[in-house]
Chains A and B, each alone.
Chain A
Amino acid sequence: MIAKILLLPILIPILSGIVVFFIPKQLRRVKEALALLATFAVLILAMISFKQVSSYSFNWLGRGMDLSLRLYNFSSFMLLANAGFAFLIILYSVTFMKGKDLLNQFYAYFLLTIGFANGAFLADNLLLLLFFWEGLLGLLFGMIAIGNKGAFKSATKAFIIIGITDLCLMLGIVLTGQLAGTLTISKINLPLNNLANLAFILMMTGAIAKTGAMPFHTWIPDAALDAPLPFMSLVPAAMDKLLGIYLLTRIALDLFQFTPLSGLSTLLMVIGSLTIILAVMMALIQKDYKRLLSYHAVSQAGYMILGIGTALPVGIIGGVFHMINNALYKSCLFLTGGAVEKQAGTANLEKLGGLGRKMPLTFICFSITALAISGVWPFNGFFSKELVYDAALERGLIFYILAVLGSFFTAASFLKLGHAAFLGKLNPANEKTKEVHFTMLIPMIVIASLCIIFGVFNWIPINHLIQPILGTARLEGHNYSGFPTNIVLVMITFIVLILAVVNHLLGVRLKGSALHAADHIRYAPGISQIYALAERRFFDPYEWGLKLVNLISKISWALDRGIDWIYNNLSVRLSYGLSYQLRRAHTGNYSVYLSWSLLGLAAVLVLLVIL
């Protein structure tokens, strides 16, 4: 029975998404009700099938391309998380999206995205996975494109970046399938040698790009400004992390025999730690609520990749735990950003301030999640970061230092954000700002509560959700729940957090404004030049790609013109010139023609004799 149910989490959102698309504008309520109902149904299904094990398969395209789905602890966990976020964010959207254009497309893309993501989680066949993965790419484009006026450009950017990395994933899948001789994920377990290394890197590129790792992250800050906010809250904040880390974990744990000895492990750790530090540095200087959050969405991905990259059980548990934690607080942070934008009319920090008194519940939710992302005890972010630190330190001091430094800047930037938005002087324009509607509050409150629960009672997620993924053999009897064992690391974390607060107070004292609290770092010698380059998008590979494409297109254009000239001018002139010369020879004088014929005869005879 459960086997057939596996199709429902995929089909229900997809079908209702298609139906929603055709519901006329006037029936907005029907549309919202259907979307809510569909996501709720998926949530119930996810709850029923949670921790169940089953699989479903039928011959789809033949030649090993089966439609096979597999439900086990990891995928059921992902399914539940995805369904939970989907339901809460739809609930939020009902109020948030009121009065916005293109609602049909918004709800349709939203539901389709959920269906395709569920498909990707459940797929037990690499090609099926790729099918859903590429479907998400198209929906990503659509979701961003229906945003602001400038959204189309951002959507194109996202589409190109993710499209290229998805291409890597596709190549990786083909290579993996070739090496393994099967496309069924649960049957593959390749040792990492020459070609398998390449396959690993290709598939890994697809996975970490989805997560938002550097240097594939540059579309996220752009999309943050242009795309509809519930999309940001669902996709880059939560779902992309779930998908990317899910796939990365599957690659590392199941598809390949990934060990700390492998050079690929170091590669992943380098990418992870660089992502942490560079993205958070960018977050520090942002002056827009949503854009600041989007850089954190990138930076936090670094912790997960770093954790999984260590290839140690503690690191993988930390990484996966951090994934779910980040999904929680980051989506909630985006939701608070949406609430502020909706009520105050802007997300520009220069125009905000003192909103804490007007929107107390939103402020509380923001505070909880900001503390969680900064890694403050006893919120969930603290515990997962400690696990990642533990693993990073074991693999190399430099990774640990970068990770802790990232924590420092994270705390600093959230102090700045909270201070600038919710505390301080109220902008006179926002005198009449009220708390948001309860449908928007409920999702924020639920997620913020989960941040506390996953922190205080961290054995619930770790014991029930995460440790089963590795299996008892890999854990070797360890249990990573509860308070961190390494007290020295905890002390360092506390010191770093205190330093961040001191730094913030110092910054406020120096510049006299919360918004500019990080300016002493921003304009520090040596760093300011780097920032200047970054502001000019010097570090954006997309910009470099655009320049390269422009260059190629110019060269091709010149070549094209040249070839065109040969066809259109040279050959035509040559033909006509020859033609005129030949015509002039045809005088109409029969003696001339006669002599040609006789010369021809002579030539024929000569040729016959010679040859």
Chain B
Amino acid sequence: MCLALILIPFFSIIILNLPPREVNKRIAFGLVLILTLGQMFLVFFPGCNFWKMNSGVFGSMLKIDLLVDNLTLIMLFCIGLIVLVTLFTSRQFIGPIEKQRNFINLLLVVLIGMNGTVLARDIFSLYVFLEITAVASFILISFDKELLGLEGAFKYLLLSAIATILMLSSIALLLILTGSTGFSEVQAVLKTLNPNNPLLILAVGLFLAALFIKSGLIPFHGWLPDAYSSAPASVSVLLAGIVTKVAGVYALIRIMVSVLGFSPASQAVLLLIGAVSIVLGALLSLTQSDFKRMLAYSSISQVGYIILGLGSGTALGIVGAVFHIFNHCVFKSLLFINSAAIEKQTGIRDMDKLSGLAQKMPVTGLSSLLASLSAAGIPPLAGFWSKLIIIIALWSAGYYTYAVIGILAGILTLAYFLSLQRRVFFGKLTREFINVKEASFSLVFPMVLLSVIIIGVGVFTPVLLDKFILGLGNILGG
């Protein structure tokens, strides 16, 4: 049944583009709204029939195996949430009706790609859905057909192409080694193989490198700041909030947990890349003056934490990593919406030219403060708990150095976020901004929604911890 998450968007695209093509914009908007809300709603009923596996007509026809576990569910929720939020923000930024329909078409394609990615339980299906997501993203980045957007899209395209090559080679190697592409089949055969088999090492290395590129980890991150900062505002929200998290980080977790399995060598690589990304990403954020570019480098740093959690190789570490994905989706998309609101209201993205906006844009100011503090790991906001779990996991697994790096880098995180707050929202309101107003409802609503999630999840984490969050750990055993 859960194949519907892929099929309904697919048929929606067809219906929306049938003649007469002058379908009301509201119908398209409402359609995506219902789809995302439905997806988020269903996640709360993991026991219902919807999630049961079946090899129905379409399943057998398409030969696509689907997988549902806690990790999948939480990712589906994130996807629904961020696509919903993107939908709202897009109303401010995408111009004529024709463009809006195009945008919603592409949004549905991305939705199909991401849902497919998290549901796939076959390496090749995973690859196909990643490509669907990526191609739609290229077009979205260059949606405005402006020079910078095209440049950003090109860099993403280029490095994604490399990632595709690496991934396909790796899949080919795994197929040679195991004779199969299904997650469980491959994993079963790999367990019997000699871990020093050169082909296996090559396959692991290629796959990891491909996903590092997709996740934008240092030194594979070259495309990321340009793509994030040059994309249209609402696309940045989508891209930073969820696309790279699904295409890169989720895929990495899934491949490590369900296919390749942890080995001391792969853990060492993950930890090293994670730590380097945290520290260098944070350092790079420190001196950026472009709002979105700073957020982009901050994303690299935050993804570093997720990889560090994954690298610990323990159930707790993976819990922290997945929890941090969720938190990162929320606060990073909130921050991108904040930057969108400011760009919309003032036309400026250079933080050095902004000042004192909290007085004129209270919702934007307060929500960005919340998001910044959550990102910096200040209790009791949501980001604190996921970082805490990651660091506890590292410590108890014996990776003391990495735990300390994680804690110290928190100071850098706080430094650049507070510098952002000081430059943009506090300080004296200059005459230039005396007439600035708060953003309109379609931006304020997502900001409030995401702020409530940050506070709510943060405050209720101790309650949720046993019931929901720690349950994530069972993906390792299962």
Q: Which residue numbers of A lie inside 8 Å of B, CB to CB?
A: 575-576, 578-580, 582-583, 586, 588, 590, 592-594, 596-601, 604-605, 607-611
Of A600, A605, A609, A611, the contact of B220 (CB 8 Å cutoff): A600
Quick one: given A600-B209, A604-B205, A607-B269, are A575 and B155 in contact (CB under 8 Å)? no
Using CB atoms, name the residue of chain A closest to B201.
A608
Of B159, B226, B265, the contact of A608 (CB 8 Å cutoff): B265
Taking CB atoms, residues of chain A closer than 8 Å to B222 are 586, 590, 592-594, 596-597
Taking CB atoms, residues of chain A closer than 8 Å to B162 are 594, 597-598
B202 beta carbon closer than 8 Å to chain A: yes
Quick one: given A608-B201, A608-B265, are A597 and B159 in contact (CB under 8 Å)? yes
Stretch from B89-97, B282-290, B376-384 that touches the partner = B282-290
B158 beta carbon closer than 8 Å to chain A: yes
B264 beta carbon closer than 8 Å to chain A: yes
B390 beta carbon closer than 8 Å to chain A: no
B208 beta carbon closer than 8 Å to chain A: yes
Complex contact B159–A593 (CB within 8 A): yes
B331 beta carbon closer than 8 Å to chain A: no
- What are 12 pairs between A and B in contact, CB < 8 Å? A579-B287, A590-B155, A590-B159, A590-B222, A593-B221, A597-B162, A601-B206, A604-B205, A604-B209, A607-B265, A608-B201, A608-B204
Quick one: given A592-B222, A607-B269, are A582 and B280 in contact (CB under 8 Å)? yes
Complex contact B284–A605 (CB within 8 A): no
CB distance from A461 to the nearest CB of B (A): 67
Taking CB atoms, residues of chain B closer than 8 Å to A576 are 286-287
A579, A597, A600, most chain B CB atoms within 10 A:
A597
Taking CB atoms, residues of chain A closer than 8 Å to B154 are 590
Complex contact A575–B159 (CB within 8 A): no
Complex contact B226–A588 (CB within 8 A): yes
Chain B positions 267-303 with a Cβ under 8 Å from a chain A Cβ: 268-269, 272-273, 280, 283-284, 286-288
B415 beta carbon closer than 8 Å to chain A: yes
Q: How far is the CA of A575 from the CA of B412 in the complex (A)?
A: 9
Q: Chain B's interface: helix, strand, loop or mixed, by majority?
A: helix
CB distance from B279 to the nearest CB of A (A): 9
CB distance from B198 to the nearest CB of A (A): 8
Complex contact B223–A604 (CB within 8 A): no
Taking CB atoms, residues of chain A closer than 8 Å to B286 are 575-576, 579
B219 beta carbon closer than 8 Å to chain A: yes
B70 beta carbon closer than 8 Å to chain A: no
B317 beta carbon closer than 8 Å to chain A: no
B266 beta carbon closer than 8 Å to chain A: yes
**CB-CB nearest 9 A-B residue pairs:** A593-B222, A611-B265, A601-B209, A605-B205, A579-B287, A596-B219, A600-B219, A579-B286, A579-B283
Q: How far is the CA of A250 from the CA of B408 in the complex (A)?
A: 57
Q: How far is the CA of A605 from the CA of B206 in the complex (A)?
A: 8
Complex contact A605–B283 (CB within 8 A): no
Taking CB atoms, residues of chain B closer than 8 Å to A592 are 222
Quick one: given A576-B287, A604-B205, A604-B212, are A597 and B265 in contact (CB under 8 Å)? no
Q: How far is the CA of A597 from the CA of B159 in the complex (A)?
A: 8
B166 beta carbon closer than 8 Å to chain A: yes
Complex contact A601–B205 (CB within 8 A): yes
Complex contact A596–B283 (CB within 8 A): no
CB distance from B335 to the nearest CB of A (A): 19
Q: How far is the CA of A109 from the CA of B212 in the complex (A)?
A: 74
B213 beta carbon closer than 8 Å to chain A: yes
Complex contact B415–A575 (CB within 8 A): yes
Taking CB atoms, residues of chain B closer than 8 Å to A600 are 209, 212, 219-220
Using CB atoms, name the residue of chain A closest to B280.
A582
B225 beta carbon closer than 8 Å to chain A: yes
CB distance from B74 to the nearest CB of A (A): 28
Apart from A590-B159, A604-B209, list 15 A-B contacts with CB within 8 A.
A576-B286, A578-B283, A579-B284, A580-B287, A582-B283, A583-B287, A586-B225, A590-B158, A590-B222, A597-B220, A597-B222, A600-B212, A607-B269, A608-B269, A611-B265
Q: How far is the CA of A576 from the CA of B284 in the complex (A)?
A: 9
Give the total of B residues in contact with A, Cβ under 8 Å: 37
Chain B positions 155-175 with a Cβ under 8 Å from a chain A Cβ: 155, 158-159, 162, 166
Taking CB atoms, residues of chain A closer than 8 Å to B280 are 582
Chain B positions 410-467 with a Cβ under 8 Å from a chain A Cβ: 412, 415
Q: How far is the CA of A593 from the CA of B166 in the complex (A)?
A: 16
Q: How far is the CA of A588 from the CA of B230 in the complex (A)?
A: 12
Using CB atoms, name the residue of chain A closest to B224.
A593
Taking CB atoms, residues of chain A closer than 8 Å to B264 are 611
CB distance from A478 to the nearest CB of B (A): 73
Complex contact B415–A605 (CB within 8 A): no
Using CB atoms, name the residue of chain B closest to A606.
B205
Q: How far is the CA of A593 from the CA of B223 in the complex (A)?
A: 7
Q: How far is the CA of A23 from the CA of B382 in the complex (A)?
A: 54
Chain B positions 192-229 with a Cβ under 8 Å from a chain A Cβ: 201-202, 204-206, 208-209, 212-213, 219-223, 225-226
Q: How far is the CA of A605 from the CA of B212 in the complex (A)?
A: 13
Taking CB atoms, residues of chain B closer than 8 Å to A610 are 265
Using CB atoms, name the residue of chain A closest to B264.
A611
CB distance from B186 to the nearest CB of A (A): 18
Using CB atoms, name the residue of chain B closest to A611.
B265
CB distance from A499 to the nearest CB of B (A): 77
CB distance from A363 to the nearest CB of B (A): 74
Chain B, residues 44-68, CB within 8 Å of chain A (1/0): the string is 0000000000000000000000000
Complex contact B266–A608 (CB within 8 A): yes
CB distance from B148 to the nearest CB of A (A): 11
Complex contact B415–A597 (CB within 8 A): no
Q: How far is the CA of A485 from the CA of B374 in the complex (A)?
A: 87
Q: How far is the CA of A588 from the CA of B229 in the complex (A)?
A: 12
Taking CB atoms, residues of chain B closer than 8 Å to A596 are 219-220, 222
CB distance from A600 to the nearest CB of B (A): 4
Using CB atoms, name the residue of chain A closest to B265.
A611
Taking CB atoms, residues of chain A closer than 8 Å to B213 are 597
Q: How far is the CA of A483 from the CA of B226 in the complex (A)?
A: 107
Complex contact B166–A601 (CB within 8 A): yes
B202, B226, B273, B287, most chain A CB atoms within 10 A:
B287
Q: How far is the CA of A593 from the CA of B159 in the complex (A)?
A: 9
Chain B, residues 332-374, CB within 8 Å of chain A (1/0): the string is 0000000000000000000000000000000000000000000
Of A597, A605, A609, the contact of B219 (CB 8 Å cutoff): A597
CB distance from A567 to the nearest CB of B (A): 10
Taking CB atoms, residues of chain A closer than 8 Å to B208 are 604
Using CB atoms, name the residue of chain B closest to A581.
B283
Using CB atoms, name the residue of chain B closest to A601.
B209
Taking CB atoms, residues of chain A closer than 8 Å to B287 are 576, 579-580, 583
Q: How far is the CA of A579 from the CA of B202 in the complex (A)?
A: 34
Taking CB atoms, residues of chain B closer than 8 Å to A593 are 155, 159, 221-223
Using CB atoms, name the residue of chain B closest to A582.
B284
Taking CB atoms, residues of chain A closer than 8 Å to B269 are 604, 607-608, 611
Q: How far is the CA of A491 from the CA of B264 in the complex (A)?
A: 98
CB distance from B173 to the nearest CB of A (A): 13
Q: How far is the CA of A605 from the CA of B283 in the complex (A)?
A: 27
CB distance from A598 to the nearest CB of B (A): 8
Taking CB atoms, residues of chain B closer than 8 Å to A583 are 284, 287-288
Quick one: given A576-B286, A593-B155, A596-B222, are A607 and B268 in contact (CB under 8 Å)? yes
Complex contact A594–B159 (CB within 8 A): yes
Using CB atoms, name the residue of chain A closest to B266.
A608
Q: How far is the CA of A245 from the CA of B155 in the complex (A)?
A: 89
Q: How far is the CA of A609 from the CA of B162 in the complex (A)?
A: 22
Taking CB atoms, residues of chain B closer than 8 Å to A590 are 154-155, 158-159, 222-223
Complex contact A605–B202 (CB within 8 A): yes
Q: How far is the CA of A433 from the CA of B415 in the complex (A)?
A: 74
Taking CB atoms, residues of chain A closer than 8 Å to B268 are 607, 611
Taking CB atoms, residues of chain A closer than 8 Å to B159 are 590, 593-594, 597
Q: How far is the CA of A593 from the CA of B280 in the complex (A)?
A: 15
Taking CB atoms, residues of chain B closer than 8 Å to A601 are 166, 205-206, 209
Q: How far is the CA of A582 from the CA of B277 in the complex (A)?
A: 12
Taking CB atoms, residues of chain A closer than 8 Å to B284 are 579, 582-583, 586
